[in-house]
Amino acid sequence: MLTEQTAFNPQPVLLERDAVTLRPLKLSDASGFFKAGNFAELWRWVVPNHCSSIEATEKWIEQSLTEQQEGNHIPFVIIDNQSNTIIGSTRYCSIRKNDRGIEIGFTFITPQFQQTHVNTMAKFMLLENAFEKLGAVRVEFKTNEKNNKSRNAIGRIGATFEGVLRNHRILPDGDLRNTAIFSITDQEWPDVKRSLQQTMIRSN
């Protein structure tokens, strides 16, 4: 049974480590966001491509900030600290205040920084904040059932595969998407944290 604790109320926050910073998304980030995301391979499993043009990017950011104002999403840009440039984006979403649950999703990392320290560090900061600052009891990850690259990346973080949600979403083009769902619970977080910390030490 959970003891009484402060309300679960995620808000925009600055998260920093030596190599990577997660900063709340702003409309003025459109140019950097577009440059980082303007690679067709990043959007193979996402419809529509939100970086197909600068106009599409600006519209996407405006929609994301509306979701933030409504308390549904908290979007971030991922910053490479060495170059001080935007190299991707991620966010909290599917926020369930009463159940102290949250999802980490909408993540993309520009190809140059894929399979580097970036994804591990970004996910570590989001997980640490969710469990240790916000008091989450469950963090979810979802991806297209066919997106093996994403599924493998989520597994490497230490999330547990829970199954496939069949016909989970109707995509803008009318296709049906099956969604693979993973999670980390607050009981699992200490072990996951230690493993991620070791991974980050090895990557330095």
Instruction: Fold for 15-203, please state it.
Output: Aminopeptidase (3.40.630)
Q: What is the dihedral of CA 166, 174, 72, 52, to 10 degrees?
A: 120
Before 24, cis peptide (omega within 30)?
A: no
| Cβ contacts of 128 within 8 Å, gap of 6 or more | 193
Per DSSP, which regions of the chain are E strands? 15-16, 20-24, 74-80, 85-96, 101-109, 138-144, 160-170, 176-185
Whole-angstrom CA distances from 164 to 142, 151, 183 are 9, 12, 12
Per-residue pLDDT of the chain (204 residues; tens, 9 = 90+): 555 578 999 999 999 999 999 999 999 999 999 999 999 999 999 888 999 999 999 999 999 999 999 999 999 999 999 999 999 999 999 999 999 999 999 999 999 999 999 999 999 999 999 999 999 999 999 999 999 999 999 999 999 999 999 999 998 888 899 999 999 999 999 999 999 999 998 876
Structure token digits, residue 23: 């900063």
